[in-house]
Structure 1
């Protein structure tokens, strides 16, 4: 049983990082890049490029641009329209990076289902939250949503890397909230057409 513990922890790290990409796409990749460059995270042979200085600079710039862009009215909603597929890809890659020693079929099955699914779920829910904020507050509350997303991505990235067991608990809690509030929203939407009849 103990031989499976590294795989389980790798899974928790990968899913935690995938969840972080649901909040902000580049921030968790930057944390991985910086952590590898500084020697906090062991370097993986297959992804050694991410620990180089050019990768740290590139992911750092991409992170700053992404964070700032979410504070620009209308651009934030435009970014949401492309964030779900990009987060899905990033989440899949981050999970895959944790399982390079497995065969390709197992590695990418885990990556797409666990990483891509987690990132897509969180990114979709947050895009819906911003759309609701735009509709109800004319976008005035959108900077608050953006700030909370950046904080969420930062916390999830750090926790995933250093406390992976706690990260998976956070992910399960976030997914629970998404399902719970998603069902409530679906019920409200179904009631509205009946009220109009």
Structure 2
């Protein structure tokens, strides 16, 4: 059961990387410092003061970047592959499996996949917001993403099963959004 809980924790935190890359890593670092969670061997660096300072700085810069209208869309381009990497690292850091191929494979598929799906969904929302409001609605989208990232990250640390269930619902919503977007007929100009 402990293995399952650590997988739920990792996946939920990884999915939060799709909203904001550094927020779940910062929350993980804080939870490690408080002794609420533990990482597997090789990931002890996440429990250092240096990591806390770097992640706090990166989180502040990332959140600020999403409130600058032209920078938010540009940042989404960079955030997509970085969210995959961050999600992979987060899930892998919590799964206590002795087989490295399985551990990293689960990290990439479950963690990186969850982060990538959420990131793709938020990118679509931002593109839709930019198209319909000329970018004026993007700060609202950014605020919702910030709340989702912080809230779900803390929920993942405190109640990993509940957070993993919510992540599945959010991923289902974004998959449905992507599928219905593809089915909509293109309007000719």
Does residue 105 of structure 2 align to residue 109 of structure 1?
Answer: yes
Which blocks of at least 5 consecutive residues in structure 2 are unaligned?
A: none
Question: Which range moves more in the overlay, 34-43 or 10-19?
Answer: 34-43
8 A contact 2:10–2:111 mirrored in 1: yes
Per the alignment, residue 186 of structure 2 pairs with: 192
Which blocks of at least 5 consecutive residues in structure 1 are unaligned?
A: none
8 A contact 2:21–2:79 mirrored in 1: yes
Q: Give the deviation of 1:100 after TM superposition.
A: 4.3
CA distance in 2, matches of 1:109, 1:41: 22
| Residue 98 of structure 1, aligned match among 89, 94, 98 | 94
Larger radius of gyration: 1
CA distance in 2, matches of 1:43, 1:119: 19
Question: Which range moves more in the overlay, 31-40 or 10-19?
Answer: 31-40
Question: Which range moves more in the overlay, 47-56 or 66-75?
Answer: 47-56
CA distance in 2, matches of 1:42, 1:183: 38
| CA deviation map 1:36-92 (0-9, x unaligned) | 122222354421121111111110010011001100111101100111100000000
The 4+ residue runs of structure 1 with deviation greater than 6 A are none
CA distance in 2, matches of 1:50, 1:10: 16
Measured on the aligned residues, the alpha-carbon RMSD in Å equals: 1.5
State the aligned residue count. 189
| CA deviation map 1:79-120 (0-9, x unaligned) | 001111000000001111012442111001101110111100
| CA deviation map 1:114-161 (0-9, x unaligned) | 011110011011011101111110100000000000000011111111
Q: TM-score, normalised by structure 2?
A: 0.95
Question: Which structure has the highest helix share of the two?
Answer: 1
Per the alignment, residue 162 of structure 2 pairs with: 166
Q: How does 1:48-197 map to 2 (within 5 A)?
A: 48-188=44-184, 191-192=185-186, 196=188
Question: Which range moves more in the overlay, 126-135 or 141-150?
Answer: 126-135
Q: How does 1:34-49 map to 2 (within 5 A)?
A: 34-42=30-38, 44-49=40-45
- Cα pair distance change 1:171/1:43, threshold 3 Å: closer
